[in-house]
Copies of this chain bind each other. A is one copy, B any other.
Amino acid sequence: MIRTNQNFITYTEMLKKNGQYEIDSHVFKPKTTVLRQDKRYGDVYLIKEGIAKCYITDENGREFIQEFLGEGMEFGELEVFSEKLTICSVTSITDLKVYSFSHKTYRALLAEDSTFNHLVMKALADKIRYKAPRHSFQHSYPIEDNILRLQSLFPQLTEILPKKDIANYIGVTTRSLNRALKGLKSKQESLK
C-alpha cells in the first residue's frame, strides 16, 4: 500500500556519488506540499526517506489519493514525457528526504544510461500494474473488506496515517470509514 523501490534509491545514490550528473537533496517537514496540481515544474523527485501522498483535488475540494509514496518512489516524472501540467499534488506526511533531478538531467540519464532508462520504465509499468487491481477491489467490495485488505498490506495503517487520508484513499467519507472501523471492532469482540 505504501509503495517502495529500493533499487531505484541505491542506483540514484551511486549516480550522485559518482558526480557525473547533478542530483540535489532536499528535506521537507510533514504537511509540506511539494507539487501542486495544475502547476508546471521542472524537476523530478525521488523519495529517499519518509512517506508522501499523491492526490487529486476536485472542484468541491474533495481529495482523492492516488497512492502513498515511500522510499524509492519518484514523482513529477510524468511531466518529463508529456510537457503538461502536474495532475497530482504531492504532500509530505512524515519528514521527507528527497533527491531531485532537473528535467534536463533526467532526460540525459534516460538517453545515456540504459540502467536508469530501465529503472524508470519498470517503475512506470509497476505503477500501472499496481493501480489496476486496487481500483477494481475498491469498487467491488464494501468498506470493511477494503480496510482489512489495507491492514494486511500495512499493519500500522491507523497509527501512521490520519483517518482522513485513509478515507480519501479508499474513496469514502470519514464518517463511513469510522462506521466500518466500528463494525470491524465489534465483530472482533464477538469472536472472543
Identical subunits present: 2
Quick one: CB contact mask for A55-89 with B, threshold 8 Å, 1 for yes? 01010101010100000000001101110100110
Chain B contacts for A128, CB-based, 8 A: 78, 124, 127-128, 131
Q: Is the CB of A64 within 8 A of B110?
A: no
Q: Is the CB of B82 within 8 A of A125?
A: yes
Q: Is the CB of A133 within 8 A of B87?
A: yes
How many residues from A make CB contacts under 8 Å with B? 37
Q: Is the CB of A64 within 8 A of B140?
A: yes
Q: Is the CB of B171 within 8 A of A58?
A: no
Q: Is the CB of B122 within 8 A of A121?
A: no
How far is B56's CA from A87's CA once the two chains are assembled, in angstroms?
25
How far is B125's CA from A110's CA once the two chains are assembled, in angstroms?
14
Quick one: CB contact mask for A114-134 with B, threshold 8 Å, 1 for yes? 100110111011111101110
Q: Is the CB of A81 within 8 A of B121?
A: yes
How far is B80's CA from A118's CA once the two chains are assembled, in angstroms?
11
